[in-house]
Structure 1
Amino acid sequence: MKKTLLLLFCCLMKFSSSKNSLQDHLRRGSSLSVGDDSHLITSPDKTFTCGFYGFQTNAYWFAIWFTNSKDRTVVWTANRNKPVNGHGSKLTLQTNGAMVLTDVDGMFVWGTNTTSTDVNRAVLLNTEISSVYWPSPDVGFDVFRYGRTSFNSSRYADFNDLGVFKSSDGWQFSASDMGLGVRRRLTMDYDGNLRFYSLNESTGLWSISWQAIAQPCDVHGICGRNGICVYGDKPPACSCPAGHEWRNITDLSRGCKPTFNRTRGNSTKFRFLPTLHTDYYGFDLNYSRNISFESCRDICLGDSRCEAFSYRLTGEGLCFAKSSLFNGYQEPNFPGTIYFKVPIGMETPESSSILIGSKTTCADVLVMLGSPSMYKSSGGKVKWVYLYSFALAIGLVEALVILLGWWIFYGNNPVLNNIEEGYRMISNQFRGFSYKELMRATQNFKVEIGRGGSGVVYKGVLEDERVVAVKRLGDVSEGGEFWTEVSTIGKINHMNLVRMWGFCSERKHKLLVYEYVENLSLDKRLFSSTFLQWKERFKVAIGIAKGLAYLHHECLEWVIHCDVKPENILLDGSFEAKIADFGLAKLSQRGGQNSEVTRIRGTKGYMAPEWASNLPITAKVDVYSYGVVVLEMAKGIRLSNIVMQEGEGEEEESELTRLLRVAKMKSQEEEKGWIEEIIDPRLGGVFSRKQAVTLVEMGLSCVEEDRHKRPTMDSVVQVLIDCEPE
């Protein structure tokens, strides 16, 4: 990774003489003292200042900060973890050229580890340099020891004086005040959000000119434990639910604390306080479907760990018991209510503790219908007209509720169904599609562009004119298992994996919406007259390897594809490989009419031997399939085809077995032309011999019968990308 660093000090001018003040430089043999506010060094253009920076009582850093920032925003410290005393500490440029920070007792705290006697003075510069500092250049390409893979390509990044951030993997963004002359800093803030800050030189204040997460409530835990972030307000409003109060009114990120004792005895009786359109993400003790409100409430009552439960009745009852209340948010369109568990007899406030400007949360309070005057007598008589009016109003409300209930339970309500199912994926950038919407997009599933074991794929155009591929799943699992797997797929994002845009789940209809990849699948570009040239083949081989390595080693949940084959490798406009159908093997219905519990997944010719040997399935099954695919790319034919052995009568063998036998024999004989006998003759000899040898040898190692001898996909990537073209 490459990052813009500040050149802290530069030792200049051998034996030169200067009469500049101490504010411009530090002479050899001189010191900066912690107790003297005038002992500061400023850069030539006054952008930066260095000196002692007090951040707590009698605790100081030797630091560099922005000169004109009102709060002296620090950009570097020498002793962040070892603050020095506010009396007697000093920074000295010693006569041997070393710069040393010492505490009041003379103890060494920090030093520059330089001993050049040529040094005359130390100057703080405003020069910026770019330097590769991670992975360390001293260890060459051994980046794996740092827990990183070099094929990711995001190995360096920087931002320039215009306020433009660029990285080697193509990610780029700009400050809203892009242009020269503005001092900026890029900071990973306490809430986990990455932000650009721009300095107003006249006021000394910083303003946000870009941030990675635009909606603050999307930052989990921004309002602290038990706190609720209200969507739609700018800035966002934090509020405390009923029965809670602020831990620190001056720091709302510390959250809310209950006004009651959670650890009362077993004899304690509880009730629940509701808050509408509100939820707390995560920390689910359990998740139940098709359950009544009473049953959901009893689950929480019966579990001492339960602090609240979330319940939704949108076609079916959904229940989430919560063990902790973090990441709270309130959104007007969220179709659920959170119920807080509090002791009976706890004094209930009339309203929650709310920050000014936020929306009100609901408290469990008694509500009187109408005005108090309704219930007062006039001359000993009740004002019956008011009671009749409210009785009529209640009757109308009940009628509306009945109609609404009928619509929810018996009407065709695809929007609510998708909202309900989509709650399980609320943290993902999915959108729910109705079945009718996808029928329109595909013109009633008119244009079929592919089919496989998991379903049929159709081309479609959404209302926003995006071209998509809609997979209509055939026999898939129901309920939570389906959403567990779809959530896994939705969290995965890599340039060599087909991106999922959304989903549909309406009764028996289960559909997935993917990006459309225009250059068809690899099998149609390899086993036909419009075959790929060598350059594209090698590029595709690297792309497939990168995608599988991501699935196996880097994504949030490790995924084994289980069906790597040319039909599941799609090619975009620039012939970049994109793996399709990853994760769908888990969606197959268990025990259904068209399935077996222990059935072998995959496609004949690409399945690893352990499938048939009943061995535990690991990521090495994908490695085997990858080996078959790259050998097919080299050979240009299906290796699962059966051929007759020469001179062996009627005995048969697969093209793969024959290739393995011939390649092993030729390579052992060290024949120079052995690779030319293997590579696709349709290429007419136009290929890189170095790349071809590397690809074939890698393919052969991937299809080893002993899975322990097969390489991992991240090592495959490393070998291929290190194979430069001749």
Structure 2
Amino acid sequence: MHLQYLPFLFLIPLIFLSCSPLVATTSSSSNILTQGSSLFVEKQNHLVSPNRLFTAGFHRIGRNVYTFAIWYSNTMSDGNHTFVWMANRDEPVNGKRSKFSLWKDGNLVLTDAGRRIWMSDTKSSSPLQLQLLNSGNLVLTELNKKTYLWQSFSFPTDTILQNQPFTKDTFLISSRSLTNFSSGFYKLFFDDDNVIRLVFHNDEVASVYWPSPWLVSWQAGRTTYNNSRIASLDSKGYFMSSDNFGFSTSDYGSALQRRLTLDLDGNIRVYTLIKRSWVVSWQAISITCTIHGICGPNSLCTYSSDSGRRCTCMQGYKAKNNSDWSMGCEPTFDFSKHRENYEFVKLPSVEFYGFDTVFTRNSTFNECKNACLNDSNCKAFQYNFNKDSNFFICYTKTLLYNGLYKGTRLNTYLKLPKADALSYDQKVANDFPLDCSNSTIELTRSYEKKTTNGSLKFMLWFSIALGVIETTCFILFYYITKQPSGATTQSYLAIATGFRRFTYDEIMKATHKFKDEIGRGGGGIVYKGTLPDHRVVAIKVLHEAIQGEDEFFAEMGPIGRINHKNLIETYGYCAEGKHRILVYEYMENGSLAENLGYDKLDWPMMLQIATGVAKGLAYLHEECLEWVLHCDVKPHNILLDVDYNPKVADFGLSKLFHQGVTENSKFSKIRGTRGYMAPEWVFNLPITSKVDVYSYGMVVLEMITGRSPTNDQARDDNERVDKKGLVSWVREKLHEASGSFTVTDFLEILDPRMRGEFDTDEKKNLLKVALQCVEEDKDARPTMSEVVKMLLDPNMDN
């Protein structure tokens, strides 16, 4: 061994010591955790509020499964504790060698045998302490400043306590089941239109169900004009929200303990503690079957005061999992057979809300039936008479969610193989009772055992280390310098994500070394490629580099879960070295920009494109769990499939590129394309979903007129819009001041290359919608969901 290496031997223990926080055991019951101290799962260390009402610490939630939580100290009459907050609901820890620590640097860290499960991402040079308050709030306090560096009230799980603020930055997520406290399918949040909402969201669908999605905000008793976005339940039982929603509990005024919880069935309830039992003193939804996704797909929900809620599989379907209603039912047959093999059975007074693929007015029953037979993905159709409009309406459905019996003349016709249709018995209910016997979670992990005599073992191993130090240093040096950083994390992320992670070599092969370029823009260059399974794909190489592969995946995860027929489907991504690449479906007819002005689009196609784009943007704004703004809606980012159905592309790039975003309404820099950008960008106003509404309106005006929103991008020098801009030009041509316009006026602004017949009401309605979308005042613009309603029903009051 070379003598020049000898001095470095004494640095090794110091290096290891400097990388490990010093911890000390607290007493088993206290209300304060000091810096450098920990709570250990084996020792059952707890923090208790001064009034003894709340306890924080490790709590067992399954077989060898623990979470760090806050709960009511006293057990309820059923022998269980009531949780009000959890740090690691989606990644529980083992019953051995887990600890919750307050590090010297100010970080709160939860570890499982040395592996970080959760951390607060807080740092401070001031003296700190963690304390559980009488309110149930766990706070990290800077003693010198008397301020909270972190508090559990800012990160609720499924419950808010009395006087706990619920804001635009917080949300509630329901639990998965009575015995599984991981994140479920329901979310309570403030939407970007300032309204507090409930949404159902699983891997397949997402839909808002409270307040009723078919009502505009004022019809539901809400207001969108107060952007403070805050709500709370006071100590007397009164709840008030900034969107004008409020209520009093049935026991208002009493000095009682209450909590507001988003339950696993998707309902919000206020519970009052009376004699060690929780009594419901208010609930948001009285008819629980109207909660979306309550019984899962392909099922019906019924409710009675005697038997409660019951989930029923329809004829030809069976329960997926009797211990979990949300799994719903699955067909006992496949839909790939020829249309002659199917027949329909009538389900009286049954409605499946949403997910309509065809919506046709003045349709005959046979026309509606044939539309479903001709679509191999169609599972049922609804055919109903609209007494207000005096005509029949046809809806065909490829997804059967939110099924329930309603006391109306709604009828659903279920598509079944003829054998199942002939054996259908309306009086027989294929219901499935809930069996929770298999729903208890269990955690099995193997760990190295801790040494029983620390000092002796340390001396033994230190002596051995000295003997083989040269080999050890060589190995450490090799791994530090040669091993790719983040390899373990990358492997874990590849398993955790639901869509594909590609290597750079796979991207090179798919694109034949980036041979076939099909488009480029500010975000990157797009190439055509073919995957090993023969799928033709579009592969976008991003210009702007994202710092860190884990950070890139964290933003890509929600994008990969987004699924809507008017949004480009993302198949996967590549995050390798400096490369950041997206892989998504290939669209045969290119972008809308490539099709405008080339006699390719007729009026029905244009209306179809405008409606489809609106539906896709409405989904991004109002139905996704993640708050997604596009920020660059323009013809180049609207792609058309073989049937000219539109799909919005690049809807995730604004999120990927905004690493400087600190809150939803502020962006680190202007994004978008000149001519399509809303005034908010220019005047540095708060950015909301209304910027996408403005850009959408400009796209529709460009489709109608054939003129670009910018003078220097006009398609024909003889058709340049004057200096007042496209919007002013259109309004002047339509004599907007008079409040009406004629067909001649419309023809004067219509692109002369536009083909096909058009309906007078449709053209007026589309123009009216577009002009509303491009109002200077963002509050005067409709939301995208309101745009969809106006396009589908030209007669509705705007």
- Return the index of the structure with the highest Cα Rg: 1
TM-score band (shorter)? Answer: 0.3 to 0.5
Give me the TM-score of the superposition, normalised by structure 1: 0.47
